[in-house]
A = this chain, B = another copy of it.
Amino acid sequence: MNEKLSFACDYAKGAHPNILRRMMETNLIKTAGYGFDEISESARDKIRKACECERATVEFLVGGTQTNAVIIDALLRSYQGVIAAETGHISVHEAGAIEANGHKVLTIPHQYGKISACAVEKYLDDYYNDANHEHMVMPGMVYLSHPTEYGTLYSKAELQAFRNVCDKYKIYLYVDGARLAYALSCLENDVTLKCLAELCDAFYIGGTKCGALFGEAVVVPKPEEMPHLFTIIKQHGALLAKGRLLGIQFDELFRDDLYMKIGKSAIEAAERITRALQEKGYRLYFESPTNQIFVIIENDALKKLGEKVEYSFWEKYDDNHTVIRFATDWGTTEAEANALIDIL
């Protein structure tokens, strides 16, 4: 177990104590399996309410890559691919999970993790104007992450623009919300759950990186767009026998605004650390608004820092500098943030 201070990622601890407590309380109750239990049903209801979308299908999956693979496979036809940022999680860090189901990831350039509706529209225009487009993979969906892998955010207006392009070309819009808590609680953010339910064909509310032991809640606002999701989940080996465990995660996260509170505390910690970095003269790679902090650091200084703190390598900046990432999370304490600031 780690004795060093760690800001390497947002999934290094267990779960929010409320979740563990609920697991203890309900441990010996016998329930139906596969999510057909009352706790899961309660969690689904809370999420439907939070999204202001009573008719949505809500299903719980264990992890993010799994969720992306299942949902993309559920929406696309065998001959379709998914448009994503070059830096999208599905483009790089899912070991080809999307392609394993036969779907090409069609990448477009990004700016700090974001792509634009304009670029997507151009991609689609070019595709349909290409005389050979029937020899190419047909784009069937746009994949966004919110926040992105760089912690950046889309605005509601930007999402609306994606929706418009998707409507124009009759393709799906899907949002990966692995770190959604950290967007929802961010001042710059104007994208609510309701807004996601209105604009997306599917999105997921991340649990693993936002205080749960594990689990992601998929929301499908128009269930008729994704029939037989249960069987698809099973086929992907993604059905949890004791489904109530996932129900517990989200029934607690969506009780008394816990999900928002978790996001808020992580963002505040990130802001304090960011201010300290700036005061101490560190150069930020760019200002990321959520729970991830990207710093350009001189290589010798980095070596020293690494003796005391765990961080995440992001990329080489130049021969003498490196971009590193600190991540705060639901469980970052004031003491931890202070300890990091002292070290910097």
Contact = CB atoms under 8 A, between A and B. Distances in A.
Contact of A237 (B29, B70, B93, B104): B70
B242 A208 contact: yes
A149 to B, nearest CB: 12
Interface range, A side = 35 or more
Which one of A77, A100, A230 has the highest number of Cβ atoms from chain B below 10 Å of its Cβ? Answer: A100
A93 B136 contact: yes
B236 A100 contact: yes
Main secondary structure on A side of the interface with B = loop
Contact of A95 (B1, B62, B69, B137): B137
A304 interface: no
Interface string A259-294: 000000000000000000000000000000000000
A228 interface: yes
A132 B2 contact: no
Given A95-B235, A104-B99, A313-B131, A33 B9 contact: yes
A241 to B, nearest CB: 5
Contacts of A65: 234, 237, 239
A70 B69 CA distance: 15
Interface string A213-251: 110000000000000101110111111111001000000
A27 interface: yes
Contact of A235 (B2, B63, B100): B100
A43 to B, nearest CB: 14
B137 A99 contact: yes
Contacts of A66: 237-238
Interface stretch (A18-26, A113-121, A156-164, A295-303): A18-26
Contact of A135 (B17, B24, B104, B234): B234
A38 interface: yes
A214 B137 CA distance: 24
Interface in A94-127: 94-97, 99-105
A9 B37 CA distance: 14
Interface in A15-57: 15, 17, 20, 23-24, 26-33, 37-39
B2 A230 contact: no
B228 A240 contact: no
A231 B134 contact: yes
Interface of A: 1-2, 6, 9, 11-15, 17, 20, 23-24, 26-33, 37-39, 62-70, 73-74, 77-79, 81, 92-97, 99-105, 131-132, 134-138, 208-209, 213-214, 228, 230-232, 234-242, 245, 313, 331
